[in-house]
């Protein structure tokens, strides 16, 4: 299990081999620990880009081979877990699947780390119980990604209180994804706030051409912006 503060970064979705390799090389240079990229995308709108699926995993593995960066990606079905669990370094379970107990139970059969995102409106208790289905406290990292509030002018409400709550009441590592609750300009302040509150790692969506992102464009930051955030985190963690 990771001892130092961990930074996972990458685009919301793998868009092409060229795109993920290009981004991975830059992320490696700025000291990111894990590369993320969605291949199977649980999009709210069925007409939105759905991800490259199996091909997306292939391209991620290529980026890993070239850069040495371990990879994090979301798996949505038991079949996908059986097919890819051995190849992925951290299996991401998305918000929409936090209550998919059969999928969670399947993960118990593998030794891989699991990043379990908090459900859109899940209570702490429901989230912690979901982790119990995976049946191993050491390998489940909980990830706060914002919950549904009444004000939709920001996408979600990032629940910073989750950090001390999880630390105080469980043995899980707690990561924060500051990307899915807001807009580009909020990523830096929410990242720094989360670090100050004691999170163990961050997962941030980044793109080398943020405006051209096929997925979650409004929350994608540039690699330059991520570099600034990483430098500020280093100072905070000193
Ligand atoms: C993602 O990480 O791109 C994603 C789909 O996240 P969530 O499950 O938190 O919506
Ligand atoms: Mn996303």
pLDDT (0 to 100) of residue 238: 81
Ligand 1 atom nearest 145 alpha carbon: 9
pLDDT (0 to 100) of residue 1: 55
Ranges of residues in the chain with a pLDDT under 70 are 1-2
CA of 129 to the centre of ligand 2 (A): 24
**Count of Cβ atoms closer than 10 Å to residue 190 Cβ:** 21
CA of 215 to the centre of ligand 2 (A): 6
CA of 47 to the centre of ligand 2 (A): 16
Residue bearing the CA closest to ligand 1, atom 4: 94
Helical H segments across the chain, by residue range: 17-29, 54-67, 78-84, 101-107, 124-134, 162-169, 184-196, 223-237
184-236, pLDDT tens digit by residue? Answer: 999 999 999 999 999 999 999 999 999 999 999 999 999 999 999 999 999 99
Ligand 1 atom nearest 216 alpha carbon: 3
Q: Is 80 in the pocket of ligand 1 (CB under 6 A)?
A: no
| pTM for the predicted model, two decimal places | 0.97
Ligand 1 atom nearest 12 alpha carbon: 3
Q: Are 104 and 93 in contact (CB under 8 A)?
A: yes
């Amino acid at each position: 299990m990771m001892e130092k503060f961990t930074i996972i970064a990458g685009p919301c979705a793998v868009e092409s081999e060229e795109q993920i390799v290009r981004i991975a090389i830059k992320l490696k240079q700025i000291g990111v620990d894990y590369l993320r990229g969605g291949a199977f995308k649980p999009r709210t709108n069925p007409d939105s880009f759905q991800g490259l699926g199996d091909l997306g995993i292939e391209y991620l593995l290529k980026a890993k081979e070239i850069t040495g960066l371990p990879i994090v990606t979301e798996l949505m079905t038991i079949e996908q877990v059986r097919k890819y669990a051995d190849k992925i370094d951290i299996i991401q379970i998305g918000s929409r699947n936090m209550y998919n107990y059969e999928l969670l139970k399947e993960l118990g059969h593998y030794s891989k780390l699991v990043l379990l995102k908090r459900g859109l409106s899940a209570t702490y208790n429901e989230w912690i119980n979901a982790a119990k289905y995976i049946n191993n406290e050491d390998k489940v990292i909980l990830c706060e990604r914002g919950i549904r509030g009444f004000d939709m002018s920001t996408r979600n409400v990032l629940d910073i209180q989750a950090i001390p709550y999880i630390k105080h009441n469980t043995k899980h590592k707690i990561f924060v994804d500051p990307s899915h609750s807001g807009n580009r300009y909020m990523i830096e302040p929410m990242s720094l706030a989360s670090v100050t509150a004691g999170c163990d790692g961050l997962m941030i969506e980044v793109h080398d051409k943020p405006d051209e992102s096929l997925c979650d464009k409004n929350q994608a930051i540039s690699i330059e912006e991520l570099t600034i955030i990483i430098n500020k985190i280093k100072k905070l963690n000193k």
